[in-house]
Structure 1
Amino acid sequence: MNTEVVMQELEALGKERMKKMYVSNGAHEPVFGVATGAMKPLFKQIKINQPLAEELYATGNYDAMYFAGIIADPKAMTVADYDRWIDAAYFYMLSDYVVAVTLSEADIAQEVADTWIASGEELRMSAGWSCYCWLLGNRKDTEFDETKISDMLDLVKNTIHTAPERAKYAMNNFLYTVAVSYIPLHDKAFETAKAVGPVEIIQDKTKSKFLSASENIQKALDKTRIGFKRKHVRC
């Protein structure tokens, strides 16, 4: 199945309601509005296909870029490939749910994510922190350096309130994910979240909302979800 055929298949799966939802979150044309679940039968036909994933990602079509993440071969991608993908990720649904998710299955995940977190660029930072959330929520605790994750908690504590808006979301989620999915630092993550307090997200010039990692950690505690790990990151 080639790029042209896949694009036709995706266009046929598009729904106006989904398109409006994606656009309201930051997607821009071209976009078909395909529900992620509707892509699964197409994935079963194609399976992993990195050359096709590259062609689809390069179209700039949101749905094609998302599907590229599903059929990509994360371990075949280099640092330069991931940098190219994040360069083209023009809003958070691509940076955090396509690029970061794909990266989280690569052997170089932490190396690349560390660079992005240190970049100071909003969507690179967001993708880097999000990648760690996907990693921590899926891989065994023994695969991480406890001192490094502890230092990252300190970094969140010291910088989250002045970070770019999308990075704030991902950093707040990092506090939650460490507390819930990384047992060695559960206590520290919970205490850090309490110290951070509510995080203000400015949605536009007239309104803002507040995130609270500590409240969500408490809810997870109440539901005995501490230690939760996903079996799979990608669908």
Structure 2
Amino acid sequence: MSDMTLDQALGELAALEDPKMRAANEKRGDDHGINLSRMRALAKKIKTDQPLALELWSTGETAARLLALLICRPRAFSADELDAMIRETDPPKVNDWFVNYVAKKSPLAEQMRVRWFDDADPTVAAAAWSLTSVRIAKDAEGLDLDHLLDLIEAQMKDAPKRPQWSMNEALAQIGIHHPTLRLRALAIGERLQVLADYPTAPGCTSPFAPIWIGEMVRRQAG
């Protein structure tokens, strides 16, 4: 644990603020102006510091919360704390880091996946689908994959953006990792056309499930 106080940490963040970076980030819905590589460097200097992470999170500021997610101890959060936090992750990068750096690393991940799965809040439901994708890829025993495909087929096309993205990931993971369901996953993707026109940079794999599945299966075979 570091000796850095909350005021010192906020001062460090303020020193990293760049108006041009803020303008670029705000176009993506992230209200902060800090280069994330510099944010990570600051977190590396602080190291893991759960008390400071809690103080940073309590400020409600996006930059402070991003730093909190980098220096926190995921195992230290209770189920109710995780539940409260996910409901406060409106900025896209805060949501992304919370799901990937905290929720997925928590020993309560499966408990939270079940708790969040049918939540009316799209952000919370999206987190449940992200945790489900991890299970699909790494430990699908006990999951009803056919039922998940039923849900995806019925709901993904008209789902809000965040759960739609997470459901699409689950669809792709089923197609990639479960050969007996691959044709059905491909068919669902082709029929729904979710993310079919998503702009993809050269050298990157499209998130459109049929392309994603095909590319990853090709790599596995090669």
TM-score (norm 1): 0.76
Cα distance in 2 between the residues matched to 1:2 and 1:55: 9
Flag the 1:16–1:191 CA change in 2: closer, same or farther, 3 A. Answer: farther
How big is the shift at 1:121?
1.3
Flag the 1:113–1:93 CA change in 2: closer, same or farther, 3 A. Answer: farther
Which amino acid in structure 1 is aligned with residue 127 of structure 2?
A
How big is the shift at 1:172?
0.7
2:113 matched to 1:110?
A: no
1:211-230 matches, within 5 Å, as 212-222=208-218, 224-225=219-220
Match 1:26 to one of 18, 24, 29 = 29
Greater C-alpha Rg: 2
Which amino acid in structure 2 is aligned with residue 84 of structure 1?
A
Cα distance in 1 between the residues matched to 2:216 and 2:62: 33
1:205 alignment partner in structure 2 = none
1:88 aligns to what SS in structure 2? coil
Cα distance in 2 between the residues matched to 1:177 and 1:35: 31
The 8 Å contact of residues 117 and 125 in structure 1, kept in 2 or not, is answered as yes
Q: Which runs of 5+ in 1 are unaligned?
A: 202-209, 227-235
Match 1:9 to one of 5, 8, 12 = 12
Flag the 1:19–1:104 CA change in 2: closer, same or farther, 3 A. Answer: same
1:83 alignment partner in structure 2 = 83
How big is the shift at 1:187?
4.4
Deviations 1:2-21 (A, max 9, x none): 11111111222233333223
2:87 aligns to what SS in structure 1? helix
Flag the 1:110–1:13 CA change in 2: closer, same or farther, 3 A. Answer: same
Match 2:160 to one of 160, 164, 173 = 164
Cα distance in 2 between the residues matched to 1:134 and 1:21: 31
How big is the shift at 1:113?
2.1
Whose RCO is larger (CA < 8 A, sep 6+)? 1
Flag the 1:14–1:45 CA change in 2: closer, same or farther, 3 A. Answer: same
1:129 aligns to what SS in structure 2? helix
How many aligned residue pairs are there?
A: 208
Flag the 1:93–1:148 CA change in 2: closer, same or farther, 3 A. Answer: farther
Match 1:196 to one of 185, 189, 192 = 189
The 8 Å contact of residues 175 and 189 in structure 1, kept in 2 or not, is answered as no
How big is the shift at 1:134?
5.2
After alignment, is 7-16 or 91-100 more displaced? 91-100
Which amino acid in structure 1 is aligned with residue 162 of structure 2?
R
Deviations 1:97-150 (A, max 9, x none): 32453110011102112222210211111222223345666xxx3x44253445
How big is the shift at 1:89?
1.2
1:105 aligns to what SS in structure 2? coil
Deviations 1:168-207 (A, max 9, x none): 1111122223444xx3x24425632432331269xxxxxx
The 8 Å contact of residues 195 and 208 in structure 2, kept in 1 or not, is answered as no
